[in-house]
Chain A
């Protein structure tokens, strides 16, 4: 018997006033996987996740979490679902470890609090009140609160926003450990590398809709071999470069100093490109052929940069 999906959202619409924050969004999350909901700010990620968490009632469409309706079955669902809000969620005058112990005490079989504090590097912050914690410490406390009750499913809303690289890696390792132990993880992010590194499935969202779904490999493989990217000084003459390449090549400066060439990427194109660069004494750094990054996928899909 196939395992039913942990989360199933069909044609979700959620409006605030006249604007539809979520506009016909459909997604499925397989049990035991990590799903990244990727998109720029304002794409509707948080609204979608908060509807799954039971905070908002859909204007139309259906949402099922662990087979239940998060709005009407909230009481049965809450112990089974861990929630990390994008911001806050802690009493300002309560100490970090005290808050974590408190959330643990609301659950029947919580994790060992000192071990979790240690694992997330919160040991030094344990006796500090929430409002005096650094942004990164607040994030990690919030993550710890999401998992301490040993949920089956966790929703993490931008779990690594504002973290330094070490803390970010610690968070990634924890998310991977959750999956290893059988917890389903849904996280939102606007970091491409995070989605690429962690996710079994990536759901790309923009303007309240899903614009692409797939494994990171599937998403980046589409059109592979048809692009080439390199970094150089900003403001290169992209039209001139395109003219120097075989016909039907297109060159874009997708971000200052970051160039993407689309076309029939083969050895001739590569040779033409390096000759053009050599004539101008430009070193095409980070030159990669074929494999697109999620960032390219996103640019192709939305025509816009990730508004981080």
Chain B
């Protein structure tokens, strides 16, 4: 400011922080908010671990011996973990941020909207990495024996995250916060049951299969399963389904998202 000679506390000296610093600050804040949120940890950590340990230890369904059960369950639980963070957690969190005007206020800050969305994406991936480490450790203790290419797993997780996150933002950007809360939890439950996570998709009627396979939960859990259990190099069909959902959800979310 050259127009003022004052040098008081509030003397103007505006400027945006470097983009990298803003992105790091926003990502850090988003991660801390998730880790501090008890209800969200229930969905992202407690339920996946419970599904893995209970369904893995007790023979609830005929999934073969214990090793076969674990090999079936781990990919599904990883898909559940991705869904809980990228869809349910992101939708509910974003819904309430809208309701409290936090997104509106940040919209007036130097943080560009693209950087805000990137920070949300990075935060989701950070939480997912923590989930994978935790669930992988529990699975190892239960004798899990993964196969396949980690590159394929990474690609599936990224495509699944993009699909779920775009649907989460579509929901959170249009519905009221309470409606998002209810709907996101309902979808979590439906996907848990019908997404090939704890119940194999081949137990459903044949007529329902194409539909269930085309849902993002089914595509992600089956994709991870054919890689991690069956050693398939790259299930392009699953990747394609997830990318398709990400594209449709992303376009709709970009068109309909309301920041306040």
Interface residues of A, Cβ cutoff 8 Å to B: 3, 31-32, 53-55, 75, 78-81, 83, 85, 87-94, 98, 102-103, 105-109, 111, 115, 130-131, 142, 145, 147, 149-152, 177-178, 180-183
Q: How far is the CA of A108 from the CA of B3 in the complex (A)?
A: 19
B105 at interface by CB-CB < 8 Å: yes
Task: For A145, list chain B residues within 8 Å (CB).
Answer: 105
Q: Is the CB of A177 within 8 A of B102?
A: no
Instruction: Given the known inter-chain contacts A78-B110, A149-B110, please indicate yes or no for A182 contacting B15, CB distance below 8 A.
Output: no
Can you list 8 residue pairs at the A/B interface with Cβ under 8 Å?
A78-B110, A89-B104, A105-B17, A106-B22, A131-B100, A151-B14, A181-B9, A182-B3
Q: Do most interface residues of chain B lie in helix, strand or loop, or is the interface mixed?
A: loop
Bitwise, B76-119 to A at CB < 8 A (1) or not (0) is: 00000000000000000000110011101101111110000000
A-B pairs with beta carbons under 8 A, tally = 130
Neighbouring A residues of B6 by C-beta, 8 Å: 180-182
- Contact A91 B15, beta carbon cutoff 8 Å: no
Range for the number of chain B residues in contact with chain A: 35 or more
- Contact check, A79 vs B1: say whether CB atoms are below 8 A apart: no
7 closest Cβ contacts across the A-B interface? A88-B101, A108-B15, A89-B105, A182-B4, A181-B8, A181-B10, A83-B108
Known A-B contacts: A150-B13, A177-B9. Give 12 more (CB < 8 A): A3-B3, A78-B16, A79-B16, A87-B101, A88-B102, A89-B101, A90-B101, A90-B105, A149-B14, A149-B110, A181-B11, A181-B12
In the complex formed, the residue of B with least CB distance to A108 is: B15
Assembly CA distance A80 to B3 (angstroms): 14
> A109 to B13, Cβ gap below 8 A?
yes
Contact of B16 among A107, A152, A178, A183 (CB under 8 A): A107
Residues of chain B touching chain A, judged by Cβ–Cβ distance below 8 Å, are 1, 3-4, 6-17, 21-22, 25-26, 29, 33, 36-37, 96-97, 100-102, 104-105, 107-112, 260
Query: Are B15 and A79 in contact, with the CB atoms below 8 A?
Result: yes
CB proximity of A27 to chain B, nearest CB, Å: 20
